[in-house]
Amino acid sequence: MSNINNNGVDMNKKTLAELSFTAVKELNDEMAATCSGGDVGGPDPDVLLFKDPNQTGQSLGLNSKTGEGIANIGLDNEGNDNGFNDQTSSIRILRGSWNFFSDSDFKGQSTGVLGPGNYALGANNDNITSALRVAA
């Protein structure tokens, strides 16, 4: 069975590039994070925060585009803890470079910039409230 469009082109025998669609574009990770809302959760996180050491225990995924972040991890709009504020013991960064802070709005003690990898928090254990993506 062929799939002939209105212009007589057999869609089954062409790639997107060959069809020259101007409205179709492959998204890179940065753009995909932006389109997904750059927020807590989501199916394809850039960062995973874990409540326990060695990337174990309950986890929370974060997505954000460069220059933005999550100002209040685990806090609701009234500033009440909903389960993850000051609870992070280890981090796995999948994409980008991130900086994590002890206070909301990217203030307080910082982890410094961390790139992809697994991290124990040491002095910052159970002390993370905000996260800022600083590079792709």
Query: Residue 109 sits in a domain of what CATH number?
Result: 2.60.20.10
Q: Kindly state whether residue 1 falls inside one of the protein's structural domains.
A: no
pLDDT at residue 74 in the model: 76
Q: Kindly state whether residue 12 falls inside one of the protein's structural domains.
A: no
Residue whose pair of structure tokens reads 């909301």 in the numeric block: 104
User: pLDDT tens, 39-67?
Assistant: 555 568 999 999 999 999 999 888 888 88
Q: Kindly state whether residue 63 falls inside one of the protein's structural domains.
A: yes
Q: Taking the complete model, does pTM exceed 0.75, yes or no?
A: no
Residue whose pair of structure tokens reads 């089954």 in the numeric block: 12
User: In terms of Cα–Cα distance, which of 128, 126, 129, 100 is closest to 113?
Assistant: 100
Q: Which domain holds residue 41?
A: 29-135
**Spatial contact of 30 and 67, defined as CB atoms under 8 Å apart:** no
Q: Does residue 75 register a pLDDT over 60? A: yes
Q: Kindly state whether residue 4 falls inside one of the protein's structural domains.
A: no
Q: What are phi and psi of 31, to 5 degrees?
A: -70, -40
Q: Kindly state whether residue 13 falls inside one of the protein's structural domains.
A: no
Q: Kindly state whether residue 81 falls inside one of the protein's structural domains.
A: yes
Q: Kindly state whether residue 120 falls inside one of the protein's structural domains.
A: yes
Number of domains in the chain: 1
* Residue with the larger pLDDT of the pair 80 and 5: 80
Q: Kindly state whether residue 20 falls inside one of the protein's structural domains.
A: no
Reduce the DSSP state of residue 125 to 3 states and report it.
coil
